[in-house]
Amino acid sequence: MKKTTITFLALAVLAFTQRANSQTSPQPKKDSVKDQTPFDNMDQTWVNGNDRRDSSVFHIPYFSPEIFVDANVTYSGNNPIDHTVVGSTALARDNEMEISQLGFGGDFNYDCARGRFMTQFGTRDEVVVPRNDYSPYRGQYDLADAYRYISEAYGGYHFNKMHGINVDGGLFMSYIGLNSYYQPENWDYQASYTSDNTPWFFNGIRVQLFPSNFLKIELWLINGWQSYATFNSNPGVGGNITWIPNENVKLLTNDYYGQDDAGLLGRHRFHSDNSLLVRYFHRAKSSKGITQMAFSLTGDIGFEQGDGVNGFNGFKTGNDSSGYAQYFASAMFYNRIWFAHGKWAWLIGGGVMANPGRYLVLEPSGQASDLPNPYNPTQTAGAFPFTQNPGDQFGAWDCSTNIAWLPNQSIEFKLELVHRQANVPYFAGPGGVTSPTGYTTTPIPPGWTPDLVRSENRVIVAILFRI
């Protein structure tokens, strides 16, 4: 979706949201630049991909602790024999309880010095997100193990200019896609393809500029596309612009440029991610009926060009002059309704994706590479690669709905139904992707291959705690 289209849509809904239905809080006068806080006095607890707590229970000078637990049990209608989930950054195991993520850490602030760290333990640190980073294969030292248990870790400085300037270096969230890496912040649980196939983290330097109380401009100089190290000679660059004219509207764009195909110095990637959130109905939580209604719309577009691929201008079959088409186009839309004093919420939505060349597709577990895979301990890792060659086609769509109970700001119980569909065999079928018995200790007989199918239906029950 083009950025201009989203901008026009934002302007159209802006006038509507400023009417009597709006609950935008007045902006108090600040005494000095030092007192300015970006997006001050705006209710952002309803926003998809944002912390829904309005305050912390901790009151410790210089440090704001944070602890969260993401636990789930999920059932796949395909019932794979090895209980392995394919194509998800949120889930790893079928038909059993799993701890997807245990995180603890927090924010430090002292005399304009700032820092944040957050650990990650559970299935995410071992088999879900890090496996998609090819850069640790370059050179010595095991970066995958070095960074595996860290989701965020950065330090920086806050300058009291404009409404604030932050300069940070380290590992930080990527802000590609409106969904958050942390499930307690999301409306949905199993993210649509737009979020699941774009980065969750960056490793590098960022500069955040807040020219006003409503605008953030962010610049990145990073190692690469969700990578611990660099793939080639040059780092990746990009940035974010977020505009929040009032607490009912949020509009943002993320844009990235880099060289992210290991050893292919002539291949370049561009990606643009654009999102709009609108809260189109809002009234006090004292109501027993509907208290809030909001939608989230995201559109991504990008391509790779050079060394045998030619973005949107190539051919499906390729030729000597221009190469194969290799691009990414996706969209997702969700609508959420809060009711019963805001203690319950219902979500419905879904998305679509086209990715010729498969350069952003999550590779099925156990098949990620022809090389030994340090991120997946299964015996069949690398033995049956899911090809990602120029010209290989991949298209998919999904839809989901969930009901959530939110008794307070620190706990959420969620029941979600998901259907996912692809144009090629991709999801784990009844035979699984590990071995004939589903165990890594079973010898692989001649002729056995992973059982991949084109669709799956899934039921997810999640318990999300954050304090």
Positions in the chain whose pLDDT score sits under 70: 1-37, 127-128, 130-132, 316-321, 365-383, 385
List the Cα angle 423/416/439 in 5-degree steps: 65
**What's the pLDDT at 319?**
57
3-state DSSP call for residue 17?
A: helix
Domains of the chain, residue spans: 3-466
pLDDT the model gives residue 240: 96
Contact 203, 183 (CB under 8 A): no
CATH number, domain 3-466, options 3.40.50.720, 2.40.160.10, 3.30.70.2740, 3.30.1490.20: 2.40.160.10
pLDDT computed for residue 23 by the predictor: 42
Which pLDDT does position 320 carry in this prediction?
Answer: 53
Say what the pTM is.
0.86
Q: Can you give the pLDDT at residue 310?
A: 92
Per the CB < 8 A criterion, the answer to whether 68 and 467 are in contact is yes
Separation CA 317–CA 338 (nearest Å):
48
Tens digits of residue pLDDT in 334-349 = 999 999 999 999 999 9
Q: What is the DSSP string of 246-312?
A: ETTEEEEEEEEEE--STT-TT-EEEEEEEEEEEEEEE--TT-SSEEEEEEEEEEEEEEEEETTEETT
